[in-house]
Amino acid sequence: MDKMLDEVSPGRVSGFIADNLQYLSGTDKGFYYYYKDVLDEKRIRLKDVYAQMGISETYGSKIISMEKHTKNRDLIIRFCLAGHFSLVEINRALKLYGFAELYSKIPRDACLIVSVNNRIYDVEKINGILSENGQDGLTM
């Protein structure tokens, strides 16, 4: 999205916002549309994400649609891991949901960043890495 702004003149900002409203922070469905778009690009079905996470479709869809807003940042990270999101994609998703991005100066986040950068998406393996480094595992 940032690259798209490189070509927008000040007089056309309102048009850009109108055209991309569903993807911008602060909108009720920004996270949902972004999450679904990334999954679609990766050809991953929501049903498979729920199965991998061990949660019901009903509960999962309420979290993703923000009908039931979670205050658990780890849960959103787990959704992103189940969708094989890259670091950039995870950070965008966290931001859209209202959470802080992963930050390399926080030891726990650094472990998560290293895991994702090495394409480790298995929560048990990541929790092992976290534990080895004296950090709390991802919660549900």
Question: Does 3 have pLDDT greater than 80?
Answer: no
112-132 per-position pLDDT tens digit: 999 999 999 999 999 999 999
Q: Residue 36's closest CA among 27, 45, 28?
A: 45
Q: Which pLDDT score is estimated for 137? A: 94
Question: Does 23 have pLDDT greater than 80?
Answer: no
- Read off φ and ψ for residue 81, nearest 5 degrees: -65, -40
Name 46's Cβ contacts closer than 8 Å, sequence gap at least 6: 36, 39, 57, 60, 61, 64
Query: Taking a C-beta distance cutoff of 8 angstroms, is the pair 16, 8 a contact?
Result: yes
Query: Taking a C-beta distance cutoff of 8 angstroms, is the pair 41, 33 a contact?
Result: no
Question: Does 22 have pLDDT greater than 70?
Answer: no
